[in-house]
DNA sequence: CTGAAAGCGCTTACAG
DNA sequence: CTGAAAGCGCTTACAG
């Protein structure tokens, strides 16, 4: 007679003729049972096709072995590379991940946080966005660790892992200058974004200044990290400042928008215009010409964030912030210019 | 004196001077308490900052309000569009989603299934891959519903939602024929893939046959749904069959590979060569020229799958299979050819 | 080495 | 309308 319900520890105990305490012990590889008992229990587990119930376990252990990941939809490829890294690390350390698409909508974030709390996740990874005080507060109340990826925060208890955006941007522009460019425009991300918006603009400005190139405000146009921002930005530049020889785009998607607009207006890349992107997302290799870009190690960032979080869960000690290395991957969109 | 632990139903009961049963009742909007009691309880909830514990609730209800989603990494954009749809629907119906990246690795799938079982998910969505008998078996044992997206199965208890791949492919090729092309090559997906591989090839073959175009085996090359498959496939075609005037690629990524290879060899799209992709992923709008492609409503497919799954969870009755409509979105990669 | 019992935070008959 | 009690499937002192 097959049981209609899935086997529980009780069924195993009965079949093995031991107490549930003993079953629990062998299940958890504790000590305190003879080898013979172990045999009996193992056999009963096989026979009953027993599977532990993580919910019951979680209730008593106050550990669910699951973490929550909050990420905005923005620039999907970007997010999913990070998510991939998180998932990889988590899974190999016996954690599951609940994903929450905040979709750049604040009220949703709060709701998700609520759910994660009720579901008793052991920790949270927060991606690509500023950790607003209101979010920080509720997370505090949850008494679980959080780590930020591709974002940063002023909270000592919330470590982050990210690239040095300012520096990366500085390097990209310096790279362009090294190729002989002086009339370099930038299409930024969202203007007010304090993480990936402003710092990258600052890096651009500083690189110009350090190389004695006066800043021309026509050369800076604000985008939104997306394709259309790049497209429109490029058209604006073409109109207001056609003398520009290079464009630095704040994301690869933006750069692809530039590429499209350039093609539409008969501007040849890299012959007439050089272009550098940012992210080195899979896209960057697939365009024609292939995109020279600033690489962020997205997958690794996800892994590192997961590692930090899990370490915080286990030890209770706050992890260090971590700046991960960026680099410029050279492909086909940058040309050299002779001195003029 | 602040409690060191988060408030439980017990704390609320004490503060409101009622039993935990009563608290539970108002929490769940049941009947059986005076308005006055309700007031007291609500107040106590506020004061204690009580949050329900979904784990405890799940243990007794045998419902966790979470579903598991299995998806391979292949063609990330594709997967994340579907995931987005699932997430959207799930969240608005009070379900959380645990994502499992199977990464085209079988043993991993089994392990994930195990985890999902232990975590007592209420249902599973399985994406883009064949549901192998061994997987089906363990899912059966879990006694929870499954639905397939962008895949199909012979199991009556496992509904799927997908596009009619055969038909979509047939339509794409017919479209090319309608534009005057007769020497049409195809770069397929993974050759043996029974879902997105073979049926699309069959559709190609049938469209050719129906229009009296003899099939030339040089015109069919197998790729892998990825960029490099398209790139290499295009080079192969250029070499073996340079007379080809159109290529049908089994995925947008593949099509971008074709675009790159074409550019590399000086073949102009659409002037020298027409190209149709498959998926209509965000990528397709970002290439130069923008890709004409077969659109799969990925986001909607995710939503529909989630809807079916949740309905199955609630009602216990198996949902119907669903073929969702595809269409051809015309952009810039197809040119017309005069009769010859 | 082993088991009886308490308890994790809830829900739900059952009585009153 | 309200509460005491049993129970969901586990783990973990505590005794022996």
B252 lies within 8 A of chain A by CB: no
Say how many C-beta atoms besides its own lie within 10 A of residue A107's C-beta.
8
* A81/B51 Cβ within 8 A: no
Measured in whole angstroms, the distance separating CA B198 from the mean position of its chain's CA atoms is 19
- By Cβ distance, the residue of A58, A87, A227 closest to B101 is A87
Asked which of A32-36, A245-249, A327-331, B223-227 is least confident by mean pLDDT, the reply is A32-36
* B286/A260 Cβ within 8 A: yes
- CA B204 to CA B323: how far, in whole Å? 19
> Looking at domain B165-296, which of 3.40.50.2300, 3.40.50.720, 3.40.50.300, 2.160.20.10 is its CATH number?
3.40.50.2300
| CB contact residues (below 8 A), chain B span 204-243, against chain A | 227
B58 lies within 8 A of chain A by CB: yes
Do A136 and A158 form a contact (C-beta atoms < 8 A)?
yes
So what's the pLDDT on residue A63? 95
The closest alpha carbon to A78, from A193, A196, A246, belongs to A196
Same CATH fold, B165-296 and B9-52? no
User: Which protein residue lies nearest to nucleotide D7, measured between its Cα and the C1' atom?
Assistant: B60
> Looking at domain A165-295, which of 3.40.50.2300, 3.65.10.10, 3.40.309.10, 3.30.70.270 is its CATH number?
3.40.50.2300
So what's the pLDDT on residue B121? 97
Residues of B in contact with A64 (CB under 8 A): 55
| Hits for CB < 7 Å against strand D across A residues 42-101 | 50-53, 56-57, 59-61
- By Cβ distance, the residue of A55, A76, A263 closest to B64 is A55
The 3-state secondary structure of chain B, one letter per residue: CCCCCCCCHHHHHHHHCCCHHHHHHHHCCCCCCCHHHHHHHHHHHHHHCCCCCHHHHHHHHCCCCEEEEEECCCCHHHHHHHHHHHHHHHHHCCCEEEEEECCCCHHHHHHHHHHHHHCCCCEEEEECCCCCHHHHHHHHHHCCCEEEECCCCCCCCCCEEEECHHHHHHHHHHHHHHCCCCCEEEEECCCCCCCCCHHHHHHHHHHHHHCCCCCCHHHEEECCCCHHHHHHHHHHHHHHCCCCCEEEECCHHHHHHHHHHHHHCCCCCCCCCEEEEEECCCHHHHCCCCCEEEECCHHHHHHHHHHHHHHHHHHCCCCCCEEECCEEECCCCCCCCCCC
- Collapsing DSSP to helix, strand or coil, A10 comes out as helix
Do B43 and B53 form a contact (C-beta atoms < 8 A)?
no
Q: Which of A48, A58, A98, A139 should one mutate to test binding to chain B, selecting the residue with the greatest count of B CBs within 10 A?
A: A58
The closest alpha carbon to A92, from B87, B139, B80, B105, belongs to B105
Domain boundaries, chain A: 9-52, 65-163+298-325, 165-295
Do A294 and A333 form a contact (C-beta atoms < 8 A)?
no
Q: C-alpha dihedral over A102, A107, A111, A113, to 10 degrees?
A: 60
| DSSP conformation letters of A196-216 | TTHHHHHHHHHHHHHTTPPP-
Say how many C-beta atoms besides its own lie within 10 A of residue B311's C-beta.
17
Superfamily of domain B64-162+298-325 in the CATH hierarchy: Response regulator (3.40.50.2300)
DSSP assigned state of A250: S
A104 lies within 8 A of chain B by CB: no
B120 lies within 8 A of chain A by CB: yes
Phi and psi, residue B170, nearest 5°: -55, -45
So what's the pLDDT on residue B130? 87
- CA A123 to CA A147: how far, in whole Å? 8
For residue B259 the two structure tokens come to 């675009």
Question: How many Cα neighbours within 13 Å face the side chain of A202?
Answer: 12
Residue A76 confidence class, pLDDT cut points 50, 70, 90: confident
Asked which of A90-99, A211-220, B23-32, B99-108 is least confident by mean pLDDT, the reply is B99-108
So what's the pLDDT on residue A169? 98
The closest alpha carbon to B330, from B262, B272, B280, B256, belongs to B280
Name the percent of chain A lying above pLDDT 90: 86
Say how many C-beta atoms besides its own lie within 10 A of residue A290's C-beta.
17
CATH node for A9-52: 1.10.260.40
Bases of strand D lying below 7 A from some protein CB: 1-5, 7-13
pLDDT per residue over A238-264, tens digit each? 999 999 999 999 999 999 999 999 999
Segment A151-168 shows an average pLDDT of 95
Do A282 and B76 form a contact (C-beta atoms < 8 A)?
yes
For residue B158 the two structure tokens come to 């496992």
* A66/B98 Cβ within 8 A: yes
Task: Tell me whether the omega of the peptide bond preceding residue B289 falls within 30 degrees of 0, making it cis.
Answer: yes
Tokens 């699309």 correspond to what residue?
B200
Residues of A in contact with B52 (CB under 8 A): 118
* Average pLDDT score over chain A: 93
Do A294 and A279 form a contact (C-beta atoms < 8 A)?
yes
Phi and psi, residue B312, nearest 5°: -65, -35
Residues of A in contact with B80 (CB under 8 A): 76-77, 79-80
- Collapsing DSSP to helix, strand or coil, A103 comes out as coil
Distance, angstroms, CA B82 to C1' D9?
35
Residues of B in contact with A91 (CB under 8 A): 100-101, 108, 112
DSSP assigned state of A22: H
Do A71 and A84 form a contact (C-beta atoms < 8 A)?
no
Distance, angstroms, CA A25 to C1' C8?
18
B122 lies within 8 A of chain A by CB: no
- By Cβ distance, the residue of A51, A79, A288 closest to B117 is A51
Q: Which of A77, A85, A119, A279 should one mutate to test binding to chain B, selecting the residue with the greatest count of B CBs within 10 A?
A: A119
B28 CB less than 7 Å from any atom of strand D: no
Domain A65-163+298-325 has CATH 3.40.50.970: no
A101 lies within 8 A of chain B by CB: yes
Residue ranges in chain B whose pLDDT is less than 70: 1-4, 74-75, 104-106, 339-340
Do B75 and B226 form a contact (C-beta atoms < 8 A)?
yes
So what's the pLDDT on residue A104? 58
| DSSP conformation letters of A106-123 | HHHHHHHHHHHHHTT-SE
Q: Measure CA of the first residue to CA of the last residue in chain B; give whole Å.
A: 90
So what's the pLDDT on residue A339? 53
pLDDT per residue over A292-302, tens digit each? 999 999 999 99
Q: How are strands ordered across the β-sheet holding B246-249? A: B220-222, B184-188, B246-249, B274-279, B292-295, B327-329
So what's the pLDDT on residue A316? 93
Residue A2 has pLDDT above 50, yes or no: no
Distance, angstroms, CA B28 to C1' C9?
15
Residues of B in contact with A265 (CB under 8 A): none
Distance, angstroms, CA A64 to C1' D15?
31
């Amino acid at each position: 007679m097959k049981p209609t319900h899935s086997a529980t520890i009780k069924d195993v105990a009965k079949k093995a003729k031991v107490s549930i305490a003993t079953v629990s012990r062998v299940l958890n590889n504790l000590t305190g049972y003879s080898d013979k008992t172990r045999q009996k229990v193992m056999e009963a587990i096989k026979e009953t096709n027993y599977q532990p119930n993580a919910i019951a376990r979680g209730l008593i252990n106050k550990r669910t072995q699951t973490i929550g990941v909050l990420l905005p939809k923005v620039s999907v490829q970007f997010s999913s590379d990070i998510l991939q890294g998180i998932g990889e690390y988590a899974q190999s350390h016996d954690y599951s991940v609940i994903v929450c698409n905040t979709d750049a909508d604040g009220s949703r974030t709060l709701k998700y946080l609520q759910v994660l709390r009720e579901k008793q996740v052991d920790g949270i990874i927060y991606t690509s966005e500023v950790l607003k005080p209101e979010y920080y507060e509720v997370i505090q109340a949850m008494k679980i660790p959080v780590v930020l990826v591709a974002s940063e925060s002023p909270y000592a208890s919330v470590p982050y892992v990210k690239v040095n955006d300012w520096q990366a941007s500085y390097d990209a522009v310096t790279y362009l200058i090294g190729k002989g460019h002086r009339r370099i425009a930038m299409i930024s991300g969202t203007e007010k974004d304090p993480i990936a918006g402003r710092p990258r603009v600052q890096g651009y400005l500083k690189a110009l200044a350090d190389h004695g190139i006066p800043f021309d405000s026509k050369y800076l146009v604000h985008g939104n990290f997306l394709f259309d921002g790049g497209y429109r930005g490029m058209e604006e530049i073409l109109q207001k400042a056609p003398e520009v020889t290079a464009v630095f785009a704040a994301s690869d998607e933006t750069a692809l928008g530039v590429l499209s607009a350039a093609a539409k207006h008969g501007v040849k890349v890299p012959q007439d215009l050089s272009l550098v992107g940012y992210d080195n997302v899979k896209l960057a290799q697939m365009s024609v010409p292939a995109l020279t870009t600033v690489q962020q190690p997205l997958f690794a960032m996800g892994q590192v964030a997961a590692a930090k979080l899990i370490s915080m869960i286990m030890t209770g000690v706050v992890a260090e912030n971590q700046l991960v290395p960026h680099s410029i991957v050279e492909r086909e969109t940058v040309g050299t210019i002779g001195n003029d």
